[in-house]
Structure 1
Amino acid sequence: MSLVNFRDPAVLSDPEGRRIRPGVLYRSAQPFPAADEATVAQLRTCDIRTVVDLRDTRETDPADWAAAEAAGIAVIAAPVNPATDGLTERLRTMVTAADLGDYYVLLAESAPAAVAAAVEAAARPGAVLLHCAAGKDRTGLLTALLLDLLDVPADRIVADYARTAEALPQIFAGLAERHRTALNDRTRVTDSQGRELSIPAPLLQAPAEAMSVFLDRVRTRHGGAAAFLPTCGVRAETLGAFRAKAAIPA
């Protein structure tokens, strides 16, 4: 089955082709139910040689990318746990789209090793695919950081993020099928201690304001992606390699 919520952010975030090369960076939801021949064909058509899986280990299954790995496509685990204690408290108090944007900041700050691993993978030769479960939250913030690194305007990054709203019904159907007990009504999730939580409404959407707030907070708190990523352990050589691979020279 082809990947859901699959796209090249360059198409919407840089349609004039001034900042980011097309065919370098892709994003999607996780494979439903697992990667198969059609998924591998989709990856090969786009020259995707590396898949970055941002899901926590509790969300993954060895079969998810087995077909891709058998075809020689590298799968890099960069797990981001969205239900640590600090993040769980933020989930409990989340009401608005702006709250979701603040949650994204905490999510990125809580997982420096995963952020660094994802950027390292993105700098590898060939195209790279970033994905989490829905391809919205963790995938969205990593994609946003990479686009910001290439000086893509914030409003274009926001527009690419918000496009996920079109795929949410299909995403939720896939997640409900895979996690039938936990997600069948799309309203319950558990934290790291197994405590049941209600999913806040903004987390079930892809509101433009959330990404706008995320980018603004990263800029005001950290000086933008170019300053934030080194604090996560991303080496200067890696940033240079990704820019050389993905940026269109001025």
Structure 2
Amino acid sequence: MDPEQLVAARTLELDGALNLRDLGGLPAADGRWVRRGQVLRGAYPGFADPATSPHAAAQVADLGLRSVVDLRRASEAETENPPWADHGVTWLRWPLVAAEGDSWTARYAGYLATRPETVVGAARAVMDPAQRPTLFHCAAGKDRTGTLAALLLDVLGVPAEVVVADYAHSAAAVAAVLDRLRDRPPYDAMLAGTTLAGQTPRADTMADFLAGLAAQGGAEAWLVAHGVPQAEVDAFRADLLEDGPAA
């Protein structure tokens, strides 16, 4: 199965969900596979919001979520947020922020450079077995979410071409995501003057980001250099990788 097919097979179709998929079901370079049902990535989790979906409680229960890692800024979270406490889910916010860059690749690198402690906090929350199954998300599920997904998949040894395919798959959801966000503050101001083409993920953007990360030794080296204990990285890999093809 080619990378695009592998990624598409992991998409989760839930009422109120946009750009939601399992980080599991992807191959690692050592022949193992990333376990399913442990780490999810997505756009704003409308599937968990009763204001968006009448099936919210059942859908969260079916996923078995213990925690959610919110990568949005405070102004975004204050505008809308599912009632996670009502679902019995721990809400953790680690906002990824960066100065405006001259490209998406530069912005993604900026998340790591501007406030690396938030990237580290988000990664450690996902890697913590006590928090899984977990979901991490931002507003659209493509940029902040895509950056964290790339770091985690690189740590797990998922080949670069598969990480790129996972990132680029968000392109299919961008139009629907933008339609939802354009008339909502603070996104109305943030998206003013932007185009669908300019917001659509491109494979070369993530390929360039991964090349820059590789020049720093890769995701594992970056995380350890910024304070993540090596034992946590090793335990995450041991827990998330399994033998044999994904079910």
Q: Do Structure 1 and Structure 2 share a fold, with TM-score over 0.5?
A: yes
Equivalent position of 1:165 in the other structure: 171
Structure 2: tracts of 5 or more residues without a match: 1-14
Deviation at 1:50, TM superposition (A): 1.1
Alignment correspondent of 1:179: 185
Cα deviations across residues 72-101 of structure 1 (Å, max 9, x unaligned)?
A: 11111101124xxxx22x2xxx3xxxx322
Matched, 1:153 2:167: no
Runs of 4+ residues over 4 Å off in structure 1: 198-203
Distance (Å, rounded) in 1 between the aligned partners of 2:243 and 2:32: 8
Distance 2:186 2:93 in 1: 24
**What CA distance in whole angstroms lies between the structure 2 residues aligned with 1:219 and 1:171?**
31
Candidates 129, 141, 159, aligned match of 1:124: 129
The TM-score with structure 2 as length reference comes to 0.80
1:181 to partner: Cα distance: 7.5
Q: Is this contact kept in 1: 2:23–2:34, CA < 8 A?
A: no
What does residue range 55-204 of structure 1 map to in structure 2 within 5 Å? 55-61=72-78, 64-66=81-83, 68-82=84-98, 87-88=99-100, 90=101, 94=102, 99-122=103-126, 123-125=128-130, 126-179=132-185, 182-183=188-189, 187-188=191-192, 199=194, 203-204=198-199
* Compared CA separation, residues 181 and 56, structure 1 to 2 (3 A): closer
For this pair of structures, how many residues does the alignment match?
224
After TM superposition, the score normalised by the length of structure 1 is 0.79
For the structure 1 residues 234 and 65, does the alpha-carbon distance in structure 2 shift closer, same or farther, using more than 3 Å as the test?
Answer: farther
Preserved CA contact (<8 Å) 2:48 2:60: no
Deviation at 1:148, TM superposition (A): 0.4
Identical positions, percent: 32
Letter in 2 for 1:30: Y
Report the Cα distance in structure 1 between the residues aligned to 2:241 and 2:187, rounded to whole angstroms. Answer: 44
Distance 2:209 2:91 in 1: 27
Letter in 2 for 1:28: G
Instruction: State the one-letter code of the partner of 2:27.
Output: D
**Displacement, 1:161?**
0.7
Is residue 214 of structure 1 aligned with residue 217 of structure 2?
Answer: no
The superposition leaves residues 133-160 of structure 1 with CA deviations (integer Å, 9 ceiling, x where unpaired) of 1000010010110000010000001101
The residue aligned with 2:10 is none
Partner of 2:60: 43
Structure 1, gaps ≥5 residues long? 189-197
Amino acid at match of 1:216: A
Amino acid at match of 2:203: A
Aligned to 1:28: 42
Check the 8 A contact 1:29/1:135 in 2, yes or no: yes
Equivalent position amino acid for 1:182 in 2 = D
Root-mean-square deviation (CA, aligned residues, Å) is 2.7
Distance 2:90 2:59 in 1: 15
Work out the CA distance in 2 between the residues paired with 1:48 and 1:74: 9
Determine the structure 2 residue equivalent to 1:191: none
- Distance, in Å, in 2 between the alignment partners of 1:124 and 1:202 is 38
Residues 71, 136 of structure 2: 8 Å contact kept: yes
Q: 1:203 to 1:234 in 2, by over 3 A?
A: farther
Give the aligned residue type for 2:226. Answer: C
